[in-house]
Amino acid sequence: MAASLKSITVFRGFPEKGCYTWSPFVNKLEARLRFDNIAYKVDTGSPLKAPRGKVPYITLERDVKTESLGDSALITKSFIEAGSLTDLNARLSPVEKAQDLALKALLEDKLYFYQGHERWVQNYYTMRSKILASVPWPVQVVLGNIIYNKNVRNLQGQGTGTLSAEEIAAARDEVWESINAVVSAAHAQAREEGPFWVWGGDKPTEADAVVFGFVVAALVCAAAPDSKEIVKGYPAIVEYARRIHDKYFPDYEIWE
């Protein structure tokens, strides 16, 4: 696959270029490609055109055909299996792989929903304005209500929606406190310059793409002000993201 790969386009769901997006999964996928120095283009795209009904997704030109792939985890997995991406976890022991998987799940299967409540319930109008910016105002209202109701149902079914706002905030804080503990331990052993990684060492694991994706999404998302303040309150986490930014995303605007 690597030899025949011609070009990759990452569809991010946002029209802006040269910056991070509010989606942790978009940031994660871009980080994963950049960790292996894989060139790609970006475009807006749409969930309606996505193979799995959500962003990010990619198209890749290979030989004489164009393929479309969805889901950031499955895209990464397929690239690893095809030899186009390095298996960052190949060197880990079974226990270390389990720890890496657990850290990813903490963010993708827990924090994602806590932040979803902050974005789509507590800061709905800010989120609607951003996500539906290209849609005429009357349509924004209709589509916004549809998206809001879908998110509320998903949060209810997943379990987060059964919690009070205070309980969700406490659970969110606990996740970031745990992430800070891991990152701070790695930071204490890091060199003065250059990226450092969540489990230490001189190379990232798959969890680093996820952690970085969630951190920068929290730092740039205007619809999650509480999360932004939490993350900014952990200097080690911000430094972790800044160093990765400086090496792998020098062409992107950095958060304020």
Domain edges within the chain? 8-82, 94-248
Q: Which residues, listed in sequence order, are joined to residue 58 by a DSSP beta bridge? A: 10, 69
pLDDT for position 210: 98
Query: So what CATH class is 94-248?
Result: mainly alpha
Mean pLDDT by 10 residues, the chain (256 residues): 68 96 98 97 92 94 84 96 95 98 98 98 97 92 96 97 98 98 96 93 96 98 98 98 98 95
CA-derived radius of gyration, the chain: 18
At 115-174, the pLDDT tens digits run 999 999 999 999 999 999 989 999 999 999 999 999 999 999 999 999 999 999 999 999
Helix then strand count (H, E) for the chain reads 10, 4
* 111: nearest Cα among 243, 240, 213: 213
Fold of 8-82: Glutaredoxin (3.40.30)
Q: Where are the beta strands (DSSP E) in 92-205?
A: none
The two tokens of residue 51 are: 């193979």
pLDDT for position 256: 84
pLDDT for position 65: 82
Residue type, 172: R
Do 219 and 249 meet the contact criterion of CB atoms below 8 Å apart? no
State the first-to-last Cα distance of the chain, in angstroms, to the nearest integer.
39
pTM, entire model? 0.95
Q: Which bin fits 157, alpha (ψ -120 to 50), beta or left (φ > 0)?
A: alpha
Q: Kindly report the CA angle at 131 between 123 and 14, in degrees rounded to 5?
A: 130
Do 23 and 224 meet the contact criterion of CB atoms below 8 Å apart? no
Which backbone phi and psi does 68 adopt, to 5 degrees? Answer: -120, 130
Which backbone phi and psi does 249 adopt, to 5 degrees? Answer: -130, 45
To 10 degrees, what angle do helices 206-220 and 225-232 make? 120
What distance in Å separates the CA atoms of residue 61 and residue 48, rounded to the nearest whole number?
21
